């Protein structure tokens, strides 16, 4: 039995990495049954969309550290001290995002075969962007006219060309007849 892990209320952007020391059949069962995964973590329920069970051989040259940085959004500087250890791991791991736990979970009690390897933080998205200040970004600054006006203009031009061609044809026919 592993140690109990206390979870802060309303926790966000936390990634917990667990090593799964169990047979491939047990791992497959955890992957296929969210209730079993919740049970082995000492929970009533879990959101499986935010819990990834990964066979480390499947990551190939990306490695576990690359998966955590590029796939999950953990800061590369935070992973750097553990990079060699993470990439040397074998078998299966569980990557558990705090969103998988919901707001009511305050404690994890991992069962046998589930060992906490590390806890990392995801880089939060910076939503403080300033509006663009270029002339082309201002509303109404485009030179495009309304589609109806474009169609009407095209019809007028097409009608004028048609009329010009018809006048030329009539003149040619009259010249041949006379």
Q: What are phi and psi of 69, to 5 degrees?
A: -75, -55
The pLDDT value recorded for residue 84 is 93
pLDDT at 1: 43
Stated pTM of the model: 0.68
Q: What is the pLDDT of residue 39?
A: 93
What's residue 142's pLDDT?
65
What phi and psi values does residue 73 have, to the nearest 5 degrees?
Answer: 95, 25
Q: In this predicted structure, what is the pLDDT of residue 56?
A: 94
**165 CB-near residues (< 8 Å, 6+ apart):** none
The confidence score (pLDDT) of residue 141 equals 66
- Residues 15-36 as b/e (b if ≥16 CB within 10 A, e otherwise) read bbbbbbebeeeebeebbeebee
Surface-to-core class of residue 40, CB atoms within 10 Å of its CB (0-12 exposed, 13-18 middle, 19+ buried): buried
Among 17, 27, 15, 14, CA closest to 94: 17
Return the pLDDT at 136: 72
Query: Containing H/E element for 115?
Result: strand 114-121
Over its length of 178 residues, how does the chain's per-residue pLDDT go in tens digits? Answer: 457 888 888 888 999 999 999 999 999 999 999 999 999 999 888 999 999 999 999 998 899 999 999 999 999 999 999 999 999 999 999 999 988 888 777 788 999 999 999 999 998 777 787 777 777 777 766 667 788 888 999 999 999 999 999 999 999 999 998 8
């Amino acid at each position: 039995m592993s140690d109990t892990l206390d979870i802060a209320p309303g926790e966000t952007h936390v990634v917990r990495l667990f090593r799964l020391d169990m047979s491939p059949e047990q791992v497959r069962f955890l992957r296929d049954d969210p209730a079993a995964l919740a049970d082995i973590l000492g929970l009533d329920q879990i959101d499986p969309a935010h819990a990834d069970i990964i066979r480390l051989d499947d990551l190939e040259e990306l490695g576990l550290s690359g998966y955590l940085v590029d796939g999950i959004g953990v800061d590369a500087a935070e992973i750097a001290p553990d990079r060699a250890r993470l990439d040397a791991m074998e078998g299966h791991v569980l990557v558990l995002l705090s969103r998988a736990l919901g707001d009511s979970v305050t404690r994890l009690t991992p069962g046998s075969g589930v060992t906490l390897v590390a806890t990392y933080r995801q880089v939060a998205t910076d939503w403080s962007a300033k509006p663009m200040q270029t002339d082309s970004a201002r509303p109404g600054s485009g030179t495009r006219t309304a589609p109806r006006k474009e169609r009407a203009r095209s019809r007028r031009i097409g009608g004028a060309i048609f009329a010009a061609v018809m006048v030329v044809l009539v003149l040619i026919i009259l010249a041949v007849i006379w």
